[in-house]
A and B are shown apart, each in its own frame.
Chain A
Amino acid sequence: MTTLVINNKEHQLDVDPNIPLLWALRDFVGLTGTKYGCGTGICGSCTILLDGDPIRSCLTPVSLAEGKKILTIEGVENENKELQEVWEDLNVPQCGFCQSGQIISAVALLKENTNPTDDDIDTAMSGNICRCGTYQRIRSAIHKTADLNNSKTELK
């Protein structure tokens, strides 16, 4: 049995310890928001946070995640709801398939850097391919979320 803590909830899984987190999440836990795009870690569709760090779940075996905190797209509303609202407001997604990975990478960026420049965004987000080409709106959405969060912080 492998114990995974996903979006603050514990799950017991009877799986091969080598199975990548991506497939454990999708086929065993039933959390399908995390996507398969390439299986080789180069497209970013499967990005999740492991103890706060963005990782490629298609290459990470479940054994490496035991005892660590996993955040998937399904848990983002408790982490950065504003980002999701801005994402919707600016109509960022087209087909939407890569967007889980994009949003997770953006959550990680905004945790590290509350006021990223375009270059910071490009660096943090360049591992995530969007075949529909929503990059311009991704940049805008990250800036806007940062501004929103910063203005809230100032008010506190």
Chain B
Amino acid sequence: MNPIQKITRRSFIRGIGLASGGLIIACNIPSSDDKNKKRPFNGSTFEPNLFVQLKDNGDLILIASRSEMGQGVRTSMTSIIADEMDADWKLVSVEQAIGHPKYGNQNTDGSRSVRTLYETMRKMGATAKAMLITAAATKWQVEESLLKAENHYVINTSNDKKIFYGDLVKEAAEVEVPENPPLKDSKDFKYIGKGLKSVDGADFASGKPKYGMDIKIPDMKYAAIARCPVTFGTVKNFDKTKALAVAGVIDVVEVPRIKKPFGPLGGIAVIATNTWAAMKGKDALEIEWEYGDNKSYSSESYDKMILENVHKKGKEIRNDGSVNKAFKNAAHIVESSFQLPHLVHAPMETPNATAWVKEDGTCEIWAPSQAPQTARDNVAEYLETEKDTITINVTFLGGGFGRKSKPDYIVEAAAVSKTIKAPVQVVWTREDDIQHSYYHTVSAQYMKGALDKDGNVTGWLHRVAYPSIASTFAPDSGYAAGFEFGQGLINIPYQIDNVRCENGKAPAHVRIGWYRSVINIIQSFSVNIFVDELAAKAEKDPLQFRLDLIGNDRVEESKSGYHFDSAKLKNVLKIAAKNANYGKDLPEGHGMGIAMHYSFFTYVASVIVVSMVNGKLKVHNIHSVIDCGTAVNTDTIKSQMEGAAIFGMSLAYYGKITAKDGAIEQSNYHDYQMLRINQAPKIDVEIINSKEKPTGVGEPGVPPIAPAIINAIYNATGKRYYSLPLMDHGLV
């Protein structure tokens, strides 16, 4: 797996290191922002660091620096602090941090919140606890070594005297912040690994959480924006008469296009007294567009073009041994081509933001954002002002999946507010969301494998072509970037002597962006199906064939600090197979499919049971197993894996965004469908018990789902599919 590091490094230098899952960005938040000095004290609240506020009545406010979008981060991150602090969870409440670099990296993507902040959050809790113990020792005039903390109390072990945390607030504020407070032994964890319920569960069940669209500011206007159907097209001219005639419409203004990766697309904004009037006004606009170069983009011809590009020699990305020799000496050759369409995130809450550019030049924003600091930077740049004059309040996110990592919709709201000189909430319609996104990329792949006479894989050629995420950030070379190849192309977990990976040309014509599990979806799809094909050709059991192909137990060192361990991959595969009763007879018409993938430093295998009745697919069971190191919140991990299974099924069944003459052809949930409850299978999730450092959770469950379904269909019917969505094959 060594090639990844090299390429990841290069892509970092090229300045596109924002890739979801591509990099680890170290988070060096000090446990105090004013080290070794006494902490400011307001008389009632002890604040040992940015993440902990202990009140004199014992109430403990913990700060969540990452955005909540359903992955349970407000609970998991704060439970780590509370555990190390030996706090009483019943006394904890969670506050959301604003977007500010003092909190370290706040980009909530790449399945890395717990992974990169686990130790930091532990330290935040341990610091607070150590200071409380020191405070009690001073108060009681005893040796610290006699004291321990337990459930919001400091206890003197020599006489069982105890004192409540709240009663130590004043003394604790006098204590110097320790450099290296001791951390707990994992056997003493009280909350970590225990599946705590969400701190927001009761609110979610009663409609209370404030998402972006739920923010109401006095005198706030509402806006809806018409954008050019073709990416980067501009307004030639427009007539606002009919829009202004809509009751509730106040004004119609032009929004500039800002030529930045996260700049708004620009268009015509209808300002109104309510959301509905703004949307109706937008529909009533008459606009003539200058479509621009991307008008040439039509999926039908483009998909053929990239498919041709993977059938000829491409740019070399990895080359071990000689595939040509392997093919020459092969007993059997297997060749396949794969095609996957663009996808769009379509979170239930469409992009939206509330912005208020005030008279004094400051700006306050409320937005569902996965990247509040990026939003702040971009708004400051747009307003040509100091970053400290911008406040980004992070609301709950009604789903993100990568869409809300791109703050174009936030800069856009700031632009409208600046123009109309009033607070404004810009709401994207579902049609806007589907048609003006940063799309998951479209792809073509070609694979060729060689088997010797004993059915061993001796050669592996894999060519990919897809518009790169890098094209959103830098002039488009037409080729993909290193971090993309590292998501399951060059780092296949198999031991094969002759491996060659190539990249074919695929220029971008829409904005390309991250989408839950990113390029892993594409490369896991082809690799998992192709291995199944090789097993079939070799006439071997698909499970054993995979285990053999992974090869011996080994740990492949990585500069990331996360080393690929082949035994762990084999382990999740074996357990998933066991949980699925692999090898037992299935009912007539049923089939079982296997897939596995290593991504975000996490090992996942899924075994799926399907049946085909009258040519229609039914997915009955999904058995997923995950090894993500230390499981901070077992219930969240299970729910993320359940959700990933449904997410994977949605894209397998229906996921397809196409362009015609530059415009996206789909518009809402009727033609960009989602899986519904009546199609949802039984999903069981097993989490491998591990004491190793935590790795990603939100994304790694997605990549195995679609290929496991394809392999299961093959197992049931003997027919193999190489493209998605399955609705195009008449299967759903």
Interface residues of A (CB under 8 A from B): 16, 19-20, 22-23, 26-28, 30-40, 42-43, 45, 72-74, 76-77, 84-85, 87-89, 91-100, 103, 121-123, 125-139
Contact = CB atoms under 8 A, between A and B. Distances in A.
Interface stretch (B56-64, B176-184, B644-652): B644-652
A139 B683 CA distance: 12
Point out which of B643, B682, B683 has the most chain A C-beta atoms below 10 A from its C-beta. Answer: B643
B279 interface: yes
A131 B348 contact: yes
Nearest to A121: B677
A39 B430 contact: yes
A112 to B, nearest CB: 17
Contacts of B647: 131-133
Contacts of B277: 16
Contact of B643 (A100, A123, A133): A133
Contacts of B210: 32
Nearest to A98: B348
8 closest Cβ pairs, A-B complex: A33-B207, A133-B646, A97-B398, A95-B70, A94-B70, A73-B207, A96-B204, A135-B680
B308 interface: no
A123 B350 CA distance: 26
Nearest to A102: B677
A38 B673 CA distance: 12
Contacts of B276: 19-20, 22-23, 27
16 contacts: A23-B276, A26-B213, A27-B274, A27-B275, A33-B207, A35-B398, A37-B430, A42-B669, A84-B206, A88-B197, A94-B639, A95-B69, A123-B678, A132-B348, A132-B643, A136-B683
B516 to A, nearest CB: 10
Given A33-B207, A42-B670, A96-B396, A122 B275 contact: no
Interface in B304-349: 346-349
Q: How large is the interface on B (under 10, 10 to 19, 20 to 34, 35 or more residues)?
A: 35 or more
A89 B197 contact: yes
Interface in B229-274: 247-248, 274
B620 to A, nearest CB: 12
B206 A73 contact: yes
B13 interface: no
A129 B207 contact: no
B90 interface: no
A72 B207 contact: yes
A89 B399 CA distance: 21
Given A23-B275, A36-B350, A95-B348, A88 B680 contact: no
B523 to A, nearest CB: 22
B279 A39 contact: yes
Given A42-B670, A96-B398, A84 B205 contact: yes
Nearest to B645: A133
Contacts of A40: 430, 668-670
Contact of A125 (B209, B216, B677): B677
